[in-house]
């Protein structure tokens, strides 16, 4: 009874950079991201046998409420003109084709205005019954792992074949912190990929020490003021100096858990009476075995 949540942008970027750029449709349209996305999805369906499936996309990759709190949020990813996310020219035309294919396969596609895909996945993860498998290459989502509800992250940093199945113990071993405190750890450490600096002067080791001794930002700040024995004077001083950033960090770093999700059927898609549109897209874009693998994975 597993729900699989696909971090779609993470998958198509990984597919784009992982598949040869010589994969082209008969008309010359690049299709490496499309084929890689379909191949990864079909393999993961085969591995985890979900009975529910959602492809999650960005409603807004820089939500206004995060940018208002921290204007530099993901500013490092902006195009030179300051508008939109920088994206490879040969990836851009592939995304509408891929979204059309997901629609033809009957795979629910969910994005909500002014929320990131992370927020959509997080809300599904707390509203739906487990087991839940969140497919991503983004470590931000480690904050969602929950052994009691069987929520795990299928982490693709090393590819599908060598992916990690991230649970509480995996996080604890990897970062040497309590496994349920990844978000707290990330607030202090920062995340350059999102343009988040963390607390000035506190790196991974300092963040881990804090996460091992305090459960919340408020506890860490209080400990710094009170001269907690786990904190050196220098580390306490850095925490106090970062108080303004720490006031907004939880809202920026934590995934939203209350996104207004649409009401829709997320069960695995049933075989349609007519596959002609899928076969037409397969031929038009030279998608060959990638389409066949998806059909097989869906038991059609």
Cβ-contact 7, 121 below 8 angstroms: yes
User: Would you say residue 298 lies in a domain?
Assistant: no
Secondary structure percentages of the chain, helix, strand, coil, to 5:
50, 10, 40
> What is the overall mean pLDDT for the chain?
95
Q: Do 159 and 216 sit in the same domain of this protein? A: no
Number of domains composing the chain:
2
pLDDT in tens, 72-129: 899 888 765 556 667 788 999 999 999 999 999 999 999 999 999 999 999 999 999 9
Q: Do 145 and 208 sit in the same domain of this protein? A: no
Provide the pLDDT for residue 256: 97
Provide the pLDDT for residue 164: 97
Percent of the chain residues topping a pLDDT of 70: 97
Pick the range with the lowest mean pLDDT from 189-193, 249-253, 269-273.
Answer: 189-193
Section 169-198 average pLDDT: 95
Section 46-51 average pLDDT: 97
User: Would you say residue 294 lies in a domain?
Assistant: no
Provide the pLDDT for residue 78: 79
DSSP assignment, residue 118?
A: H
Domain that residue 231 falls in? 182-253
Provide the pLDDT for residue 84: 63
Q: Say which CATH number the domain at 167 has.
A: 3.40.50.1010
Q: What pTM, to 2 d.p., does this model score?
A: 0.94
Q: Do 144 and 203 sit in the same domain of this protein? A: no
Q: Do 7 and 130 sit in the same domain of this protein? A: yes
Provide the pLDDT for residue 289: 97
User: Would you say residue 201 lies in a domain?
Assistant: yes
Q: Do 263 and 141 sit in the same domain of this protein? A: yes
Section 184-198 average pLDDT: 92
Cβ-contact 252, 70 below 8 angstroms: yes
Burial of 226 (0-12, 13-18, 19+ CB in 10 A): exposed
Q: Do 57 and 148 sit in the same domain of this protein? A: yes
Q: Do 167 and 239 sit in the same domain of this protein? A: no
User: Would you say residue 67 lies in a domain?
Assistant: yes
Q: Do 154 and 247 sit in the same domain of this protein? A: no
Q: What CA–CA distance (Å, rounded) separates 257 from 265?
A: 20
* pLDDT classification of 195: cutoffs 50, 70, 90: confident
Q: What CA–CA distance (Å, rounded) separates 253 from 151?
A: 19
Provide the pLDDT for residue 110: 98
> 125 vs 8, 45, 129, 227, 259, CA distance in Å?
16, 18, 8, 38, 11
- Whether 295 shows a pLDDT value over 90: the answer reads yes
* pLDDT classification of 249: cutoffs 50, 70, 90: very high
């Amino acid at each position: 009874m597993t729900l699989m949540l696909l971090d779609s942008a993470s998958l198509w970027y990984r597919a784009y950079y992982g598949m040869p750029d010589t994969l082209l449709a008969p008309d010359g349209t690049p299709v490496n991201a499309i084929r890689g996305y379909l191949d990864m999805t079909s393999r993961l369906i085969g591995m985890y046998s979900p009975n529910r499936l959602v492809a999650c996309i960005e409603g807004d990759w820089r939500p206004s409420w995060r940018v208002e709190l921290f204007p530099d949020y993901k500013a490092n990813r902006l195009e030179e003109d300051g508008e939109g996310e920088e994206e490879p020219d040969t990836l851009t035309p592939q995304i509408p084709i891929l979204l059309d294919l997901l629609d033809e396969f009957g795979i629910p596609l969910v994005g909500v205005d002014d929320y990131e895909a992370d927020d959509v996945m997080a809300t599904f993860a707390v509203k739906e019954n487990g087991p839940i498998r969140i497919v991503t290459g983004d470590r931000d989502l480690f904050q969602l792992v929950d052994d009691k509800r069987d929520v795990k992250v299928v982490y693709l940093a090393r590819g599908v074949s060598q992916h990690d199945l991230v649970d509480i113990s995996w996080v604890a071993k990897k970062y040497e912190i309590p496994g349920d405190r990844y978000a707290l750890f990330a607030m202090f450490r920062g995340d350059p990929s999102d343009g988040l600096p963390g607390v000035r002067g506190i790196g991974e080791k300092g963040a881990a020490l804090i996460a091992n001794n305090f459960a919340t930002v408020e506890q860490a700040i209080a400990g710094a003021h009170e001269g907690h024995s786990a904190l050196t004077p220098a580390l306490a001083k850095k925490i106090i100096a970062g108080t303004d950033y720490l006031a907004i960090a939880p809202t920026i770093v934590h995934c939203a858990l209350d996104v207004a999700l649409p009401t829709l059927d997320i069960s695995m898609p049933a075989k349609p009476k007519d596959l002609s549109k899928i076969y037409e897209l397969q031929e038009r874009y030279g998608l060959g075995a990638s389409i066949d693998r998806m059909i097989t994975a869906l038991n059609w």
